[in-house]
Chain A
Amino acid sequence: EVQLLESGGGLVQPGGSLRLSCEASGFTFSSYAMAWVRQAPGKGLEWVSAISSSGGSTYYADSVKGRFPISRDNSKNTLYLQMSSLRAEDTAVYYCAKDALGAVPDQFDCWGQGTLVTVSS
């Protein structure tokens, strides 16, 4: 069974940092592109960032470019999102998602349960 388990969320002050992790199991992690998608309370889905299967290519939404580097460790089957210079508008549930077809990270067939990030003083 394909599973994605996010961790690392919590309450952080504006300007602070957090690192989200997503541990994958049940599939060949190194063969699939992965992504982070967030959802602010009561709002819709927002694509945040994505990474190719090898980690050699990364993609970012303008809203997080330069602040949220994405990375992966294929030896540990784990995806990361290093979040810095956090703002109130970054408050959201952050989902880890697996690309459906493997190559280009554009359609997601498996999602984690989400981890809540709250940016507040």
Chain B
Amino acid sequence: QSALTQPASVSGSPGQSITISCTGTNSDIGSHNSVSWYQQHPGKAPKLMIYDVSNRPSGVSNRFSGSKSGNTASLTISGLQAEDEADYYCSSYTNSRSVVFGGGTKLTVL
């Protein structure tokens, strides 16, 4: 199972919005709504930010939102803040009953 495709890096200024894309195939994102997004700060464990394409766990800011169209999922962060600077990973359940992650996107807040 090949990794999902994410841009290596994105950047934005405080207050702006950014979107991170995550492209898969008909065997993962295209066939399942178990698409999630994780935030990881350096040296820390990942944190679930979005599950089931667009749902936020309790405690996650509503500045984070998710969507999906076809084989591509997206994470949008609005009102960028300095603490949003981190690595972001998408993941999807697959037809092989496994989970595949994206390669990760480094978000820089300028």
Binding site for B on A (CB under 8 A): 35, 37, 44-47, 50, 59-62, 95, 100-101, 104-114
**In whole angstroms, how far apart are the Cα atoms of A9 and B32 in the complex?**
34
- Kindly state whether residue B91 has any CB partner on chain A within 8 Å: yes
Verify B34–A111 contact, CB threshold 8 A. no
Verify B45–A112 contact, CB threshold 8 A. yes
Interface residues of B in 21-47 (CB under 8 A from A): 32, 34, 36, 38, 40, 45-47
Lowest 4 CB-CB distances: which A-B pairs, in order?
A: A111-B45, A106-B93, A47-B99, A44-B104
Verify B101–A47 contact, CB threshold 8 A. yes
A22: shortest Cβ distance to chain B, in Å? 12
Verify B34–A44 contact, CB threshold 8 A. no
Verify B97–A107 contact, CB threshold 8 A. no
Verify A108–B48 contact, CB threshold 8 A. yes
Verify B91–A107 contact, CB threshold 8 A. yes
A40: shortest Cβ distance to chain B, in Å? 12
Q: A44-B3, A45-B46 are in contact. Are A104 and B100 (CB under 8 A)?
A: no
**In whole angstroms, how far apart are the Cα atoms of A66 and B89 in the complex?**
27
| Contact code string B72-110 (vs A, CB < 8 Å = 1, else 0) | 000000000000000001010100011111111000000
A61: shortest Cβ distance to chain B, in Å? 6
**In whole angstroms, how far apart are the Cα atoms of A103 and B93 in the complex?**
13
Verify A114–B45 contact, CB threshold 8 A. yes
**In whole angstroms, how far apart are the Cα atoms of A35 and B91 in the complex?**
14
- Kindly state whether residue B14 has any CB partner on chain A within 8 Å: no
State which of A106, A109, A114 has its C-beta within 8 Å of the C-beta of B99. Answer: A106
Contacts of B3 in A (CB 8 A): 44
Verify A109–B98 contact, CB threshold 8 A. no
State which of B89, B97, B99 has its C-beta within 8 Å of the C-beta of A44. Answer: B89
